[in-house]
Structures are given as structure tokens and as C-alpha cells.
Amino acid sequence: MLEIIIDQDKCSGCAFCVLACPQKVLDLDYDTTKAYVAEINECIVCRNCEEQCPKGVIQVRLES
């Protein structure tokens, strides 16, 4: 099972994770200025979002 966790309290809304995702799994909510998971089924588990987040608030978990 795939899970992408974004700590909404610590997300700064920089959108680096959104820009880093080759599959457009993440998007930015312009009302709250926070990243959110828009299309989890498109995730290829590249972990670019985790690597590019300057605050380290994203976790990609893949459990069998």
C-alpha cells in the first residue's frame, strides 16, 4: 500500500515538491498555500518530492 504523508502544519507552500514530481501526483492548494496529494494512483515512488522538500515534511511510504 502506498501512502504519501505531508505534514500540513509544517508545509510552507513552496511548491518544490509539486515541481519535482514527474507524474503530477502533488498539487498546491492556493487557498491554504499547502501541498496536497492530488493523484496518488499516478505515483511511481521516485521520492523526488521527499528529496526536494526543504523542510522535510513529506514521507512516501510503500508497504507490501
CB atoms within 10 A of CB 11: 21
Task: Give the pLDDT confidence score for residue 63 in this predicted structure.
Answer: 86
Which class does domain 2-62 fall in?
alpha beta
Q: pLDDT tens-digit profile of 9-64?
A: 999 999 999 999 999 999 999 999 999 999 999 999 999 999 999 999 999 999 87
User: For residue 64, what pLDDT is reported?
Assistant: 73
Strand ranges, E, within 1-64: 2-6, 26-29, 34-37, 58-62
How deeply is 26 buried, as exposed, middle or buried, from its count of CB atoms within 10 A (0-12, 13-18, 19+)?
buried
Q: What are phi and psi of 52, to 5 degrees?
A: -90, -10
